[in-house]
Every structure is written in structure tokens, then in C-alpha cells.
Chain A
Amino acid sequence: MTILEFFLWSLLKVAVVTVVLLMSVAYTVLLERKLVGRIQNRWGPSRVGPFGLLQPLVDGAKSFLKEDLIPTAVYRPLYLLAPMIALGCALISIAVIPFGAPNTGPHGIDLFEISNINIGLLVILGVTSVGVYGIALAGWSSNSKYSLLGSLRSSAQLISYELALGLSLVGVVLRAGSFNLREIVEQQARHGFMSWNILGGMQFVAFFIYLMAAFAETNRSPFDLPEAESELTGGYHTEYSSMKFAMFFMAEYANMINVGCVATLLFLGGWTSPMGDLMHPMGGPVVTSLFSIFWFVIKVFAFLFLYVWVRGTLPRFRYDQLMNFGWRFLMPLAILNIVGTSLWLAYR
């Protein structure tokens, strides 16, 4: 395989995955509006297309066509840069996520993962930690008290919960002995759902910590203090309008999808079927790979469903409760989980 071929194939994979990710971001928004609607005993969007299915396209067109206001007192370079950082970091993480069984396409290219690297899990953590700048700079450069308060809250929250999030993943890494996401999935593939890290791996404590920290990391309810609309009007994106606001919005939903993908890979067995080897692979290689993608998408979808469900049912935390929960409960619990997992692995 020459460098040119590698480059062209990678470009193709990046283009396809980005388009699919952006479409799923748009439809996650619709999913949320529909589900929250049902939880609150109303229909949600239902006018545009059958069952409101074309609503995301219309919303997108609206964001494009709206007037792009830039307030006079903002610090322009950073004000323009911030949404790009936020969306860029949200979209980059998908590059290391394997979303189907290992599959060798033409020229030895792995079709279902953009790049298979040894430190995939760490790359995701690194990109997430850089994504904080998008929010921090947006609030600061907007030159508005609501934005600044929102972004200060958000930065503090992200830094605090990143620790618990990172520590909760150590147990999984200890069990797999690798940072490579494919190896982590293959280690839990053998006996279907009985060998998933959440059940057979006894990592349900880690899964609980990851779930809580992930809600906080993506600024979602019940930890959506950075954009608590009743106190801060909109938090860090108060001064943004039109497509720049839409970029923050897309970044939030892309982050939700990323977090769902990581949870699927680390705790729920990734693309492997819950039946494990009990079910014989049906059909040819094409059907098998389609099935692997189907299982992956179903698991991520379940995670997104949980996100929306929690948003529809739980009230927002207070700020001191949020910090206490993160530092005094989740952090020590994560450390205990690491100690417990290490002892268990050493005993075996």
C-alpha cells in the first residue's frame, strides 16, 4: 500500500464517518425532543415530514439562515475560535473508535475504524481535556457576566469530573492490559454479555462512576449547571447566535455520542453480540459485519435513550452538591475500585 492509497482511503473513511456522525447528531436532537415530549405527555415535533422526521433538516437550515450577530464588546479572535475548538474536539474523538468487527477491506484497510492505535483510550481522554478550552474561551471572550459565570462553572466541573472519569477507566484497562480499544473489546467478547466488563468483569462500580462523570462531562442534566437557563440565561453560549450557537449545540450532542461509544466499548462489549458464541455467525462476511455494526449502534442508542430519560425525570443539582458529589464520593469510590480490581487480579 503506497502512501497515496493510504491517504485516499483515510480521507474516504473520515468523510463517511463525519457525515454519519453529524447526521446522528441531528437525529439525536430529534430523539431527545420526541422522548422528552412523551415523558411530559405531549407529542414533540410532529409537523415536518412523517412523525416529524424531517425536523432536524429544517432546524439546520434555520441555523444557517439566521442573522449572525457579533456583539461589539467581544474579543473577536477568541470569540470566533471558541465554537471551532468545541466542535472540532467533539468530532475528533470518533477517529479512534472501532464501530464494527475487525474487517480487512481492499489493500488491508480496516473499514470500520479510522485509525487503530495502541493508545486509543488515552487519545479520547486527551481530546476531551482539550475540549474544555472551547467552553472556557467562549465565556471569557463574550465579555458578558452570564457567559463568564457559565464558563467558570463549566471549567471547574469538567476539571473535577475528568479525574473521576479517568480513574473509573483504570479498572477496565487493568483487566484488558491494554489501551487499545479493539483489544479491550475482544477481551470481553468470549461469553456474550456474561463476560462484558459490567457483569463478568465486576466493573459495575466503575460503570456507575463513568456514567455519573459522563453526564457531568457533557454538561447534561442533572449536571447542566453551566447552562442553567433559570440562573444564567444560557451560560457560556449566551452571546452566540446562528451557526456559532449551532456549533456549540452540535458539539454537546457529538460529545454525548462519543461518551456513549466509549461506554459501549469499555463496559458493554462493543460490537460483539450479547449471545457470544452461542449464536453461530449467519450468512457471509458481509452479514456478519453488518450485525456487528447493528449491535454497536443498538448499545449506543440505549445509552442515548438513558441520557434523555434522565433529563426528563431528574431535577438539577445545586453547585455545592455537584462539587461534593464529584470530589468526596466519586473520586474515593473510583480509587477503591482500582484497589479492589488490582487485588482481585493479583489474587487470581
Chain B
Amino acid sequence: MHLILFIFFAGFCLAGAINLLLQSHPINSALSLIVVMTSLAVLYLLLGAEFLAIAQIIVYAGAIMVLFVFVVMLLNAGREERTLGSRAARVIGLPAVVALFALFATVILRTHGLGVSSASQPITDTKELSAVLFRDLLLPFEVTSVLILIAILGAVALAQLDHGERTASK
């Protein structure tokens, strides 16, 4: 049962990713990305990570991609022109992809100490997850939050700067 679901949603995910690259209209690409993220969430769920799965849907499919779609709608971005691409990309593209993939695969397979995970694992409790996140890994977690806060402040400062200049020029 798990295997059938895995194959189905992995296929869905790959199809979405390929469609994302092939579509020439930005909004279709954005929607394919949502399909990819939702199928990834199902794969997480199959691995027993229920909180991660639903966080993937709420944060990525629900919030971040809405912003993408919002921007596409606001700018009313049109159809992209199809170009033939640079010759260099066509010649070394495929070999480069194969080489990179082989490199990543070797590094990941050689690393020891990566936890083994399989489909049909017992579900990880949200309580256990939060104990790890807020007790064992508290410092990295807080540092990351401060980093995000700084990014938000930076964005607000940039927006304010632009606004100030515009009112000054008036």
C-alpha cells in the first residue's frame, strides 16, 4: 500500500517538476510548483513525518506560493518567448547534469550516520519533535529566528527608503 502511494505521488511530483520547466506561462509554472510541493508533503507523510507534511502545505503551498501567484497577477506577466538557448548549454547541459547527480549520489551514499528511513515508519509525534526543536536545538532555532527577523526588518527598511525618496521628490 505504502509502495503504491509512494510510486504514485513520486510520479506526480516528477511530472509536476517537468511541467514546471516546460510551461511558458509563469502562472502555469507556479501552479506546477504547488503540485510538486503538495506531492512532497504526501511523501513526508509516508515517512511518518506528519507535522513536516502539513507544515509543507501550510507554509509552502499555502503561503509562499500565494505570494508568487499574487506577484504574477499584479505584474500581469505574459507568455515567455521561447528561445533556442545558448549553444554551450545545449552541448554540456546533459553531461553536466549527469556528473552533478553522480557526485551528489556518491557523497550522500558514502556519508555514515545518516538515519535510515523507510516507508511505513511509525508516525513521529509532534510532542517529540517540539522537544527536540525547543530543548535540544534551542540555540540554532533562536539564531534562525533572529536571522529571519533581520531579513524582515531589512525588507521593511528598503520599502521605507523607497517611500521616503518618492515623498521627497514630490
Contacts and interface: CB of A to CB of B under 8 A. Distances in A.
A139 B66 contact: no
B156 to A, nearest CB: 12
A119 B51 contact: yes
B5 interface: no
B137 to A, nearest CB: 20
Most chain A CB within a 10 A radius of its CB, from B50, B61, B62: B62
Nearest to B51: A119
Contacts of B55: 122
Nearest to B25: A75
Contact of A151 (B31, B54, B57, B73): B73
A118 B125 contact: yes
A152 B74 contact: yes
A122 to B, nearest CB: 4
Interface string B119-142: 000010111000000000000000
Contacts of B66: 129, 132-133, 136, 155, 159
A140 B73 contact: yes
B70 interface: yes
B163 to A, nearest CB: 16
Given A78-B27, A179-B126, A129 B73 contact: no
Nearest to B70: A155
Secondary structure of the B side of the interface?
A: helix
Contacts of A119: 50-51, 54, 126
Contacts of A152: 70, 73-74
A-side binding surface: helix, strand, loop or mixed? helix
A137 interface: yes
Interface in B13-54: 27, 31, 34, 50-51, 54
B123 A118 contact: yes
A140 B66 CA distance: 13
B50 A129 contact: no
A129 B58 contact: yes
B126 A118 contact: yes
Interface string A126-140: 100110110011011
A123 interface: yes
Given A119-B126, A159-B66, A136 B34 contact: no
A119 B67 CA distance: 25
Contacts of B125: 118
B152 interface: no
A37 B83 CA distance: 61
Given A118-B126, A126-B57, 7 more contacts: A118-B125, A119-B50, A123-B54, A126-B61, A140-B69, A162-B62, A179-B126
B34 A126 contact: no
B1 interface: yes
Given A118-B125, A122-B54, A133-B34, A159 B73 contact: no
A177 B131 CA distance: 13
A229 B66 CA distance: 25
B35 to A, nearest CB: 11
Contact of B57 (A118, A129, A162, A177): A129
Lowest 4 A-B CB distances belong to which pairs? A129-B62, A126-B57, A122-B54, A140-B73
Given A3-B1, A122-B58, A129-B62, A137 B69 contact: yes
Contacts of B155: none
A126 B126 contact: no
Contacts of B149: none
A326 to B, nearest CB: 15
